[in-house]
Structure 1
Amino acid sequence: MTPTPTGRVIGTDLVLTRQFAGPIEDVWASVTDPERTARWIGRWEGGTGAGSTGRLQLGFEESAPWSDFTITACEPPRHVAVATADDAGQWRLEITLEQQDTGTLLTFVHHLDDTDGVGDIGPGWEYYLDQLVASREGRPLPDFGDYHPAMSEHFAAQVRY
């Protein structure tokens, strides 16, 4: 099955959402507990509150590189924001959770410095968030080859110059 891109470029923010069956506390654990993040993005070590620092090992990237992070905001179980730094540069990321009648809505925002490269960045986040979905549902993880470059135009076409 070919995945369908859902992300939007709003100004210089890349915004993606996913809906989960389950309470907000369980989805929060999926995005903050090191054992559970290892299932879809990678394991991490370090502090847990705003101002804390740590390292995330990107478990699904070639050579499984480490990325340093600082937690810039943490309001369990609704919001976490981090600033990361690695060989790819510095990124500002946020996850907001909202309890709904049907489960929990996750909104992911990557605050871009500019929209250069969004055609490569967007498919990567679609892939990782679909890995989160698959890991929570006990399904096989997706293949990155189904996301990039197939989704690149979806994101690049949203950029306004």
Structure 2
Amino acid sequence: MPLSRLSTRPGALTLTWSFSAPMEDVWVGLTDPALVAQWLGRPTQYDVRLGGALVVDHGDGFLSRSVVTELEPARRLAMTWDFPDEPASVVGFTLRPSGAGTVLELAHDGLGELVAAYGPGWVTHLTYLEAAVAGAPIPRAQFWALHATFELLHAGAAR
């Protein structure tokens, strides 16, 4: 599995993920609405520029609303993260080269008591991102089954 690190601290989660794809391809996966729809949810607004608004429909009327707070093309994307019934938080994606591939570090801060719940969620989404970048998207219908598997693994690792 390309997940090499998952760590938590109070209210925050950090994941490190390795891709066999070059940084530019992973960046496209983070910023192209067609690819975002394959790994995160359906973008209804996706203005990837500093101060731009991003709105993603995760299904059943659950929309995440974000504002881009940091942008360094092909290297860094950070944004606010406003999800229904959750504390406002901030998520950032940092890319760096690693051989012929890319390492992505995801840092999600401000999660409060939701840290444990977000670990399996981000692992599932990054699994979908990796597949989207590789041109082999995973069917959306498998999301929750895969998520449940990662929840079990995460719960076992936390013991």
TM-score range with shorter-chain normalisation? 0.7 to 0.9
Deviation track 1:15-55 (CA, whole Å, cap 9, x = no partner) reads: 11111112211110001110001111113214221111131
Q: CA RMSD in A?
A: 2.5
Match among 127, 152, 155 for residue 152 of structure 1: 155
Give the 3 Å change call, closer, same or farther, for CA 140–34 of structure 1 in structure 2. closer
1:68-107: CA deviation from partner (whole Å, max 9, x where unpaired): 1100111101000010213132120000000122311111
Match of 2:131 in 1: 134
Give the secondary structure class of the aligned counterpart of 1:148: helix
Given residue 130 of structure 2, which amino acid in structure 1 is its aligned partner? V
With normalisation by structure 2, the TM-score equals: 0.81
Q: Which moved more, 1:134-143 or 1:93-102?
A: 134-143
Match of 1:65 among 62, 65, 78: 62
Identity of aligned residues (%): 26
Distance, in Å, in 2 between the alignment partners of 1:8 and 1:147 is 15
For this pair of structures, how many residues does the alignment match? 151
User: Is it true that 1:47 corresponds to 2:47 in the alignment?
Assistant: yes
Contact 1:5 1:126 in 2 (8 A): no
- Aligned equivalents of 1:112 and 1:7: distance in 2? 16
Q: For residue 104 of structure 2, give the secondary structure of its aligned residue in structure 1.
A: strand
Question: Helix, strand or coil: the match of 2:128?
Answer: helix
Higher helix share: 2
Letter in 2 for 1:91: S
Change (3 A) 1:14 1:85: same
For 2:12 and 2:84, the matched residues in 1 are separated by 21
